[in-house]
Amino acid sequence: MIKITFPDKNVREYNEGITGMEIAKSISHGLANDVLAVSVNGEIWDLSRPINSDAEIKFHKWDDAEGKHAFWHSSAHLMAEALEAVYPGVKLGIGPSIENGFYYDIDLGEGRSISDADLPKVESKMAELAKTKSSYNRRDVPKSEALKYFTEKGDPYKIELITDLADGTISFYTQGNFTDLCRGPHLPDTSYIKAIKLLSVAGAYWRGNEKNKQLTRVYGITFPKQKMLDDYLVMLEQAKLRDHRKVGKELELFTFSQKVGQGLPLWLPKGAKLRELLENFLKKVQKEYGYEQVITPHIGQKELYVTSGHYEKYGKDSFQPIRTPQEGEEFLLKPMNCPHHCEIYKSKPRSYKDLPVRMAEFGTVYRYEQSGELHGLTRVRGFTQDDAHLFCRPDQIKEEFIKVIDIIFRIFKALDFKDYIAQVSLRDPNNKEKYIGSDENWEKAERAIIEAAQEKGLNTVVELGEAAFYGPKLDFMIKDAIGRKWQLGTIQVDYNLPERFDLEYMGADNQKYRPVMIHRAPFGSMERFVAVLIEHTAGKFPLWLTPDQVVIMPISEKFNDYGKKVLNFLNNSDIRTLLDDRNEKIGKKIRDNELKKIPYLLIIGEKEEAGELVSVRKQGEGDKGSMGLNEFAEFIKNEIAKQLQEI
């Protein structure tokens, strides 16, 4: 008998050689139905693999990442089997599961290609194979036999993969007529795969190296239920409708010009308004937390970045130096604000009593991103960081982190981001020489971050080895309204720049000390943040932030004069209001202004003019009845105050 320990520390005894599936069945019928894979002492196994000694186990179902991994990985094998059936002689590369589905890299051979139009053929072959309920059988083979198998099959990519593997045994998985080299784990059989959609075809270099041959990558996704696939496809459609490039154009927020240059966004009046409102909001919050605004130029001497180390590390990713014609001095478009801020710190002697010094700037920086990387507002060559640098004593790190977390929470609330993850990135304890700074400092800073996160009750994941070389960091990821994750703000400790710029402060003991620097940007960049906000809200911004809050729509031109009166009144009450005095019927005005996503539409006609009223229509919700003009203005101000947590 062997002892099996469950996650709740419960222990049961089973016969040696029992499988995960048999254990699941012994617990409940429902579990046996849902389970997809099992962790055995932390390693993920097939449900059919015998367990021969005491073990801690955990079952994985669809709702955890490991369960999905087994499902999609098995689906990749099924797709490979279908591809071999439809395209005989196809050579296979790798076929992993990814965050949403799976892919397989294939080489169709000279003169053959596959396009989106060919995917349904492969899909139906997969469905046919899935129905055969073939089990995924694991088999350990010696390396030599593995090589022999793929040599006979004539699959050069697999041979290369096996050759690179350590000597010893290699696991093979077979389902139906298909055998693949694979670590596993896999589903019990193919019938689990009920809904299949192949999504796209793209090129990808063998092993991600552009010097290698380009293979064809086929992307797909599968689900245990048809309904789940249907929902997923609806979500993809939704994502398309929310695409910030599309919405940004429709709402006239920003544009690009081939003549200005790629990756250089032009903010249109409405987008600029939105950005200004965001910036003012953050400035106001930061002022409460003791930040001071500074302003620095867009260029700096090359020497500045040599000192900071950015030139050596990122020189090739910067715009090339500008030379002055007379002196031949070299200047860089600034890729970072921190070196400038270090020089501001150095502009006068600092005492321990002055710390922390908190310097904020909406600093525009320029980076030469590779042309293929540019994407809407999320990846651009010129962007504005909501940057700030906190210069503090080592013992102040934790408190400063707590304050930054508070600021980030304020933002999340004001913008209705409800779902987030905070990632704490620490150094790799086995690879300490990669990092600058003393052990003592690192331990202090890492402890400070973890404690700050705990005190604030953050929903945290810790990643070892993800820290920057100059210090640990805390990153915030939000989940948007349709469940996609976006990386946003970051807080980073930096021991490097204070060292390089020789920053100092005078201690109480009349000795000089080195301050610690904290970089932080709650939005990340204005460009990227606005993009995320557009995709999160689908362009329906919160009332306090939206460029146009109210539009007045007279029933006919006879009421345009009253419309102007209402317009003046609301604008004078600091409510951003437009008047739609076009010669159009009310239905048309409603439609057009709904499409512009203006939160409140006011209809005015004879009744309203007579009683100093407005008839209120809320975006997406329809008629709300009429209100006095004063009453409406108060109502709007109240709504905004609520959103900004000011009451």
Partner RNA sequence: GCUGAUGUAGCUCAGGGGUAGAGCACUUCCUUGGUAAGGAAGAGGUCAUGGGUUCAAUUCCCAUCAUCAGCUCCA
Query: Which residues make up the interface to RNA (CB under 7 A)?
Result: 200, 202-205, 208, 210, 214, 217, 245, 249, 256, 258, 261-263, 310, 313-314, 317-318, 335-336, 367-376, 379, 468, 555-558, 582-588, 590-592, 594-595, 601, 603-608, 615, 617, 620, 622-623, 626
Nearer to RNA, 289 or 368 (CB): 368
Q: Which of 83, 171, 92 is nearest to 122 (CA)?
A: 83
* CA separation for the pair 559, 218 (Å, rounded): 60
Q: Which of 46, 48, 39, 44 is nearest to 4 (CA)?
A: 39
- Three-state SS annotation for 48-76: CCEECCCEEEEEECCCCHHHHHHHHHHHH
Nearer to RNA, 192 or 254 (CB): 254
Nearer to RNA, 210 or 646 (CB): 210
Which candidate in 389, 500, 536, 589 is catalytic?
389
Q: Which of 78, 86, 133 is nearest to 103 (CA)?
A: 78
Nearer to RNA, 36 or 404 (CB): 404
Catalytic, 346? Answer no
Residue 390 near residue 426 (C-beta atoms within 8 A): no
319 to 205, 297, 326, 327, 367: CA distances (angstroms): 28, 16, 21, 20, 6
* CA separation for the pair 230, 77 (Å, rounded): 22
CB of 373 to RNA, least distance (A): 4
Polymer length in residues for the chain: 647
CB of 601 to RNA, least distance (A): 7
Nearer to RNA, 47 or 590 (CB): 590
CB of 318 to RNA, least distance (A): 5
Q: Which of 100, 130, 121, 82 is nearest to 231 (CA)?
A: 100
CB of 633 to RNA, least distance (A): 18
CB of 197 to RNA, least distance (A): 15
Which candidate in 385, 396, 423, 549 is catalytic?
385
CB of 577 to RNA, least distance (A): 17
Q: What's at 489, amino acid-wise? A: G
CA atoms within 13 A on the CB side of 1: 6
CB of 590 to RNA, least distance (A): 4
CB of 405 to RNA, least distance (A): 19
Which candidate in 341, 473, 500, 520 is catalytic?
473
Catalytic, 338? Answer yes
Residue 491 near residue 401 (C-beta atoms within 8 A): yes
Nearer to RNA, 24 or 550 (CB): 550
Q: Partners of 462 in the beta sheet?
A: 424
* CA separation for the pair 182, 6 (Å, rounded): 27
Catalytic, 387? Answer yes
For the beta carbon of residue 424, count every other beta carbon within 10 angstroms.
Answer: 22
Which candidate in 519, 536, 589, 597 is catalytic?
519
Residue 473 near residue 493 (C-beta atoms within 8 A): yes
CB of 553 to RNA, least distance (A): 9
541 to 227, 241, 274, 596: CA distances (angstroms): 31, 15, 9, 11
Sign, CA torsion 145/149/155/158: negative
Computed on alpha carbons and rounded to an integer, the radius of gyration of the chain in Å comes to 30
Burial class (CB in 10 A: 0-12, 13-18, 19+), 526: buried
* CA separation for the pair 56, 232 (Å, rounded): 34
Which candidate in 155, 175, 182, 338 is catalytic?
338
Q: Which of 196, 70, 190, 195 is nearest to 134 (CA)?
A: 190
Specify the pairing of strand 43-45 against strand 516-521: unpaired
Residue 79 near residue 98 (C-beta atoms within 8 A): no
> Edge-to-edge strand order for the sheet containing 169-175?
137-142, 169-175, 178-181
Nearer to RNA, 17 or 96 (CB): 96
Q: Partners of 602 in the beta sheet?
A: 552, 616
Nearer to RNA, 292 or 373 (CB): 373
CB of 19 to RNA, least distance (A): 35
Which candidate in 68, 244, 310, 367 is catalytic?
367
Q: Which CB contacts under 8 angstroms, 24+ apart, belong to 196-199?
A: 196/75, 196/123, 196/126, 196/127, 196/130, 196/220, 196/222, 196/229, 197/123, 197/221, 197/222, 197/229, 197/232, 197/233, 198/79, 198/119, 198/120, 198/122, 198/123, 198/126, 199/101, 199/119
Nearer to RNA, 200 or 238 (CB): 200
Nearer to RNA, 144 or 200 (CB): 200
CB of 554 to RNA, least distance (A): 8
Nearer to RNA, 313 or 447 (CB): 313
Nearer to RNA, 151 or 238 (CB): 238
The H or E element spanning position 137 is: strand 137-142
Query: What are the residues whose beta carbons fall under 8 Å from the beta carbon of 440, sequence distance 6 or more?
Result: none
CB of 34 to RNA, least distance (A): 30
Q: What's at 334, amino acid-wise? A: K
Q: What is the DSSP letter of 641?
A: H
Which residues belong to the active site?
A: 338, 367, 385, 387, 389, 473, 519
